[in-house]
């Protein structure tokens, strides 16, 4: 890592970049500041402890099932007739998404730091069910906070988390409201560990989550070299808070010859349509009223990417022009879902179908056959089956 590297991470106060345009920081109440500093110190110590890292690696392999395969999507590649498409199969991880890697890392960290109880927030319920699984495994009680709209649409994750022994706190709304309430719940219980589900919120969470998820990109490197004899030419992933995509690209940030495209839901495309603001602990691009008083943004079919804001690392990478950010509509996501189900026999979650739509409709076709695109398939579709059936049944058949 050199000084000019995009991988040097945030400074000690959590800023990506310098001066007034720096993103991130620590915008929370005084009650939580000591806990955030304690967490940062705990994290920095833990990642220098070989025994801790070995333990994380052990459970990544034996509990989660990592590495997730890098799979050549032969039929989809043929159908599109352009670039060679590879799926990073994060949906094959235990509990069905990339989220569990971060849950595992943070729960192990909480244990190492002597914490007794856990709090988490969730949008699609993937982070909630993943954290609940790990909490059960390591014998720690968990309170998950979710929006009522999401609880209704991702019922399977709620049921699973209940079986794992987690408690659910319902708040009106979606992921945005869940994040604000999780901070309140933590403020009320500052001795708990807050297991943040994405590269969002106050420092050091964006740094910790990016660290845990960066295993995705390191696996892509090894697998691509081994299977393809070269690195991918392009990496594409969906972005809500942005943890799976941050994890997929982190290892490649200084390799400018690899294109990187993050895809948000068009209803909540903070990086395309937003401006810098400070809410929910961080300075970052977000959709809000001009006076900064109200968060904005509509509803996407992808619960996990229905988020008016985005992790500060992504805002920084956008400003540095190191990564391209785009967006996809609900209809594009559903079309992409149908194509991937039909060609590859994979029932994907709707969130990564935003990234798939970018690949299928805008990137793959006009590329040469030796151009490889790695698409992060970060979650499986069981949680979305009701939504998918309702919309595909009504609108497309």
Residues at the site binding other proteins, with contacts judged by CB under 8 A: 13-15, 20, 22, 25-35, 176, 180, 183-184, 187-190, 277-281, 283, 288, 290-295
State the nearest-atom distance from the C-beta of 111 to other proteins, in Å: 21
**Main-chain dihedrals φ then ψ at residue 126, nearest 5 degrees:** -70, -45
Residue 3 in tokens: 């000084």
**Cβ-contact 143, 118 below 8 angstroms:** yes
Question: Which residues pair with residue 284 across a beta bridge?
Answer: 277
Q: Name the residue nearer to other proteins (CB basis): 226 or 290.
A: 290
Closest to other proteins by CB, 290 or 397 = 290
C-alpha separations of 338 from 72, 332, 368 in Å: 18, 10, 24
Q: Which of 150, 153, 158 is nearest to 130 (CA)?
A: 158
Structure tokens at 202: 């106050």
Q: Which is nearer to other proteins, 115 or 383 (CB)?
A: 115
Tell the smallest beta-carbon distance from residue 291 to other proteins (Å): 5
Structure tokens that stand for 223 in this block = 């697998």
Q: Which two tokens stand for residue 245?
A: 């995509």
Residue 278 to residue 280: CA distance in whole angstroms: 7
Written as six digits, the tokens of 174 are 């979606």
User: Which residue, 309 or 372, has its beta carbon nearer to other proteins?
Assistant: 309
Min separation Cβ 171 and other proteins, Å:
11
Element spanning 171, H or E = strand 167-171
User: Smallest distance, Å, CB 204 to other proteins?
Assistant: 12
* Residue with token string 């992060």: 376
- Please, what is the minimum distance in Å from the beta carbon of residue 282 to other proteins? 10
Nearer to other proteins, 189 or 273 (CB): 189
CB of 179 to other proteins, least distance (A): 8
Cα separation of 217 and 170, whole Å?
Answer: 34
- Burial grade of 53 (CB within 10 A; 0-12, 13-18, 19 or more): middle
Q: Which of 232, 277 has the CB closer to other proteins?
A: 277
CA atoms within 13 A on the CB side of 111: 18
Rounded to the nearest whole angstrom, what is the least distance from the CB of residue 64 to other proteins in the complex? 32
Output 157 or 201, the one with its CB closest to other proteins: 201
Q: How far is the CB of 298 from other proteins (least distance, A)?
A: 15
Q: How far is the CB of 32 from other proteins (least distance, A)?
A: 8
Between residues 306 and 363, which has the closer beta carbon with respect to other proteins?
A: 306
Is 265 in contact with 327 (CB distance < 8 Å)? yes
Which residue carries 């990109």 as its tokens? 217
| Structure tokens, 389 | 């059936």
Residue nearer to other proteins on the CB measure, 12 or 390: 12
């Amino acid at each position: 890592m050199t000084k000019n590297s995009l991988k040097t991470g945030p400074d000690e106060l959590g800023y990506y970049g310098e001066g007034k345009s720096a993103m991130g920081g620590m915008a929370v109440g005084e009650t939580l500041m000591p806990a955030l500093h304690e967490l940062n110190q705990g994290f920095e110590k833990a990642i220098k402890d070989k025994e801790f890292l070995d333990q994380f690696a052990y459970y990544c392999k034996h509990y989660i099932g990592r590495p997730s395969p890098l799979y050549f999507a032969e039929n989809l590649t043929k159908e599109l007739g352009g670039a060679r498409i590879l799926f990073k199969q994060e949906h094959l991880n235990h509990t069905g998404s990339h989220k569990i890697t971060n849950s595992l890392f943070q729960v192990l960290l909480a244990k190492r730091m002597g914490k007794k109880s856990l709090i988490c927030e969730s949008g699609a319920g993937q982070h909630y069910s993943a954290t609940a699984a790990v909490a059960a495994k390591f014998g720690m009680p968990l309170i998950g906070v979710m929006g009522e709209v999401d609880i209704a649409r991702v019922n399977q994750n709620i049921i699973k988390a209940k079986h794992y022994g987690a408690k659910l706190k319902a708040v009106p709304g979606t992921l945005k409201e869940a994040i604000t309430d999780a901070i309140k719940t933590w403020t009320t219980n500052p001795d708990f560990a807050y297991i943040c589900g994405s590269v969002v919120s106050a420092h050091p969470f964006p740094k910790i989550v990016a660290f845990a998820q960066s295993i995705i990109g390191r696996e892509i490197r090894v697998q691509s070299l081994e299977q393809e004899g070269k690195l991918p030419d392009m990496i594409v992933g969906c972005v809500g808070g942005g943890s799976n995509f941050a994890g997929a690209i982190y290892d490649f940030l200084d390799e400018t010859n690899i294109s990187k495209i993050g895809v948000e839901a068009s209803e909540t495309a903070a990086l395309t349509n937003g401006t810098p603001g400070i809410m929910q602990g961080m300075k970052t691009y977000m959709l809000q009223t001009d006076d900064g008083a109200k968060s904005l943004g509509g509803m996407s079919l992808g619960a996990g990417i229905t988020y008016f804001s985005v992790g500060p690392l992504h805002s920084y990478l956008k400003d540095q022009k190191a990564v391209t950010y785009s967006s996809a509509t609900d209809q594009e996501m559903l079309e992409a879902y149908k194509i991937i189900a039909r060609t590859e026999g994979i029932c994907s979650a709707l969130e990564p179908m935003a990234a798939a739509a970018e690949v299928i409709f805008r990137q793959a076709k006009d590329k040469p056959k030796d151009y490889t695109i790695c698409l992060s398939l970060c979650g499986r579709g069981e949680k979305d089956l009701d939504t998918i059936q309702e919309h595909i049944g009504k609108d497309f058949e």
